[in-house]
C-alpha cells in the first residue's frame, strides 16, 4: 500500500489513498508521531477503528436510519452498527480509494466521486496542505441537487512519545454546550450548558484546561453510556470564529502540543472507550482503551433529523492542525 508524504523542517505528514487515511503527523522538533496508526498497513482495508480516515457522507450515528431528500422523499440508509447508520454506512468514504495528485511540494489533492452510497451522487475533493507547523485539511463537495454532506477526519491522537494512554493529557475546548446521547449512543436534541450547575456533567467540561482522565469511570448514567470515557459532541458557542482554537491538547510533560482550528460547528470527542479486539499499532503497542483521542470536527451529530436546510449541493469545510 503506497504511502504519500508532505514534509518540511518542522513537520512530516504521511497518508494513504485508502480512505485518505492519515498515518503520521510527526513533530520533527521532538521526533514524535502524534497519530495512532496500524502497525500493518493491510489493516486499513477494514479499518475497524476508522484510524485517520475521511468519514462521510454523514459523520457519526444517524438514527432512525433515514433522511428526507430535497424532493421530500424518505431515503432509507443501510445499518452497519446494529440498527444505526454509522459514519456513512457500508460504503462510507473511509473504505474508498481516493485518486491522489500532487499539487506542489507542500500539498496533495485527493478526488473521489460517490455514486454507490444511498445518498445522491456527489463529487469530493480533499486538499492536504502543510505550511510551516500547520497542517490543513480542506474538504469540498459538489452535487447536482441538494443532498446530505457532513465530513470529518477521524485521526486518533496520542502526544506521548512512549504512547502510554491519553488519560493524563491536558485538554481545553472553546466554549461549548454538550449534546446528550441516549443509551444507544444516538445524539439527541438535548443540550447542556456547563454553567447550569449539573454535577453529573461537570467532569466533561473542558472550557478550562483540565486532565482528560477527569471524565473517566465516573459511575454516573452518562459516564456508563459513554463506556467510562468521552463520546460526546461539543457544540461551539462561536463556531464562526475560525482564528480561535477549538481544541488545545498537551501531553503531561508539556513537550508536545496540538492546536486545532476549524469552521465546523461541533466536535465529537471520543477517547477509544469501546475497544474490544486489541490491534497492533505503532511502536509495538496495541490499540486498547484510552490509547488515543479523536476530535471529529463536524456539523451537529444526527443533524439530518433536525433541519432540512442542512441539505447542500456545495460543501466546504476546513480543519487545521498546529503542531507545537
Among the four given CATH numbers 2.60.120.260, 2.70.98.10, 3.90.105.10, 3.40.50.1970, the one describing domain 3-165+261-323: 2.70.98.10
Say if CB 286 and CB 40 are below 8 A apart: no
| pLDDT, tens digit (0-9, with 9 covering 90-100), for 16-30 | 999 999 999 999 999
Q: Which residues contact 276 (CB under 8 A, 6 or more apart)?
A: none
Residue 101, Cβ neighbours under 10 Å: how many? 10
Phi, psi dihedral angles at 129 (to 5 degrees): -135, 135
Q: Which residues contact 25 (CB under 8 A, 6 or more apart)?
A: 11, 12, 13, 33, 34, 35, 135, 155, 321, 323
| pLDDT, tens digit (0-9, with 9 covering 90-100), for 240-276 | 999 999 999 999 999 999 999 999 999 999 999 998 8
Q: Is the pTM of this model over 0.85?
A: yes
| pLDDT, tens digit (0-9, with 9 covering 90-100), for 91-121 | 899 999 999 999 988 999 999 999 988 999 9
What's CA 31's distance to the chain center, in Å? 24
Q: What percent of the chain shows pLDDT beyond 90? A: 80
Closest CA to 268 of 179, 167, 140: 179
pLDDT of the residue at 307: 67
Say if CB 249 and CB 170 are below 8 A apart: yes
Distance CA 71, CA 290 (A): 43
DSSP state of 16: E
- Residue 308 above 80 pLDDT? no
| pLDDT, tens digit (0-9, with 9 covering 90-100), for 152-186 | 999 999 999 888 999 999 999 999 999 988 888 88
Distance CA 322, CA 311 (A): 31
DSSP state of 112: E
Amino acid at each position: 500500500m503506497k504511502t504519500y508524504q508532505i514534509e518540511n523542517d518542522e513537520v512530516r505528514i504521511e497518508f494513504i489513498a485508502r480512505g485518505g487515511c492519515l498515518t503520521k503527523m510527526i513533530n520533527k522538533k521532538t521526533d514524535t508521531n502524534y497519530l495512532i496508526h496500524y502497525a500493518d498497513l493491510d489493516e486499513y482495508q477494514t479499518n475497524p477503528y476508522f484510524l485517520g480516515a475521511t468519514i462521510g457522507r454523514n459523520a457519526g450515528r444517524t438514527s432512525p436510519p433515514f433522511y428526507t431528500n430535497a424532493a421530500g422523499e424518505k431515503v432509507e440508509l443501510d445499518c452497519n452498527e446494529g440498527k444505526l447508520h454509522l459514519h456513512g454506512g457500508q460504503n462510507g468514504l473511509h473504505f474508498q480509494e481516493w485518486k491522489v495528485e500532487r499539487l506542489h511540494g507542500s500539498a496533495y489533492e485527493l478526488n473521489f466521486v460517490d455514486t454507490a452510497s444511498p445518498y445522491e451522487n456527489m463529487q469530493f475533493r480533499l486538499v492536504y496542505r502543510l505550511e510551516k507547523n500547520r497542517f490543513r485539511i480542506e474538504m469540498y463537495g459538489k452535487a447536482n441537487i441538494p443532498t446530505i454532506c457532513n465530513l470529518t477526519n477521524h485521526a486518533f491522537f496520542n502526544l506521548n512519545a512512549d504512547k502510554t494512554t491519553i488519560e493524563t493529557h491536558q485538554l481545553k475546548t472553546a466554549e461549548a454546550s454538550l449534546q446528550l446521547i441516549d443509551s444507544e449512543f444516538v445524539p439527541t436534541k438535548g443540550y447542556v450548558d456547563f454553567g447550569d450547575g449539573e454535577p453529573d456533567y461537570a467532569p466533561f467540561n473542558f472550557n478550562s484546561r483540565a486532565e482528560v482522565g477527569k471524565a473517566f469511570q465516573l459511575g454516573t448514567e452518562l459516564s456508563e453510556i459513554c463506556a467510562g470515557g468521552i463520546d460526546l459532541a461539543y457544540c461551539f458557542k462561536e463556531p464562526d470564529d475560525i482564528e480561535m482554537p477549538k481544541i488545545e491538547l498537551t501531553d503531561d510533560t508539556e513537550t508536545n502540543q496540538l492546536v486545532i482550528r476549524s469552521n465546523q460547528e461541533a466536535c465529537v470527542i471520543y477517547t477509544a472507550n469501546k475497544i474490544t479486539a486489541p490491534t497492533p499499532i505503532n511502536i509495538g503497542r496495541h490499540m486498547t482503551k484510552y490509547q488515543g483521542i479523536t476530535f471529529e470536527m463536524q456539523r451537529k451529530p444526527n443533524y439530518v433529523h433536525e433541519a432540512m436546510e442542512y441539505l447542500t449541493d456545495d460543501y466546504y469545510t476546513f480543519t487545521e492542525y498546529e503542531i507545537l
